[in-house]
Amino acid sequence: MKRVVAVLAAVALLASIGTGVLIWRLTRDHTPQLPEISAYSHGHLTRVGPYRFCQVLDPTDCEEPGEQGELPVTGRFPIQLSVPKAIARAPWVLLRAYEDDDVIEEFRPDTRLAVTIPTIDPQRGRLTGIAVQLPTLVRDEAGNEFPVPHAEWSVRTVWD
């Protein structure tokens, strides 16, 4: 009987140690993932993390991975931009940069997860890139409030 109890105790001890080691290995290099956007056009997909990502309450506390996506495009097919819920649950801004002018669209929280973007605009020319921004209202010394992006994702178009 003592032998059975000793074996069971040893098995329980080894299982506990094994579980502890497994948990440690799974969490030791785990850093929080920053949100990614995706852009798709005519068989090409790019997923990109933020170019710049700052804390909302402290816009000077930033990570600057400097990521910029590239997406091959033609004038015949639009771009389908998708943002994750982590971005869409806040007010967000889409900047479309064309050769001759930019277009800025603002989206209210929880209203859009995807946007279709034409690659050619009749008045503005070819699309050169897109950026998704999360704005924060800041106040200067004079008390003026204005939006400043605390996070930005960027995709450059590459024309065939």
Domain boundaries, the chain: 1-30, 37-159
Tokens of residue 117, six digits: 């973007």
Question: What is the mean predicted confidence (pLDDT) over 54-79?
Answer: 91
Q: Of the given ranges (24-28, 32-36, 94-98), which has the lowest mean pLDDT?
A: 24-28
Question: What is the mean predicted confidence (pLDDT) over 99-116?
Answer: 96
Question: What is the mean predicted confidence (pLDDT) over 81-92?
Answer: 96
Q: Is the pLDDT of residue 28 over 80?
A: no
Q: How much is the mean pLDDT over the chain?
A: 88
What values do phi and psi take at 83, rounded to 5?
Answer: -120, 145
Report CA torsion sign: 136, 140, 143, 144: negative
State the pLDDT confidence band at 8, using cuts at 50, 70 and 90.
Answer: low
State the pLDDT confidence band at 33, using cuts at 50, 70 and 90.
Answer: confident
State if pTM tops 0.85: no
One-character DSSP codes across 73-96: E-SSS-EEEE--HHHHTS-EEEEE
* pLDDT in the model for residue 47: 97
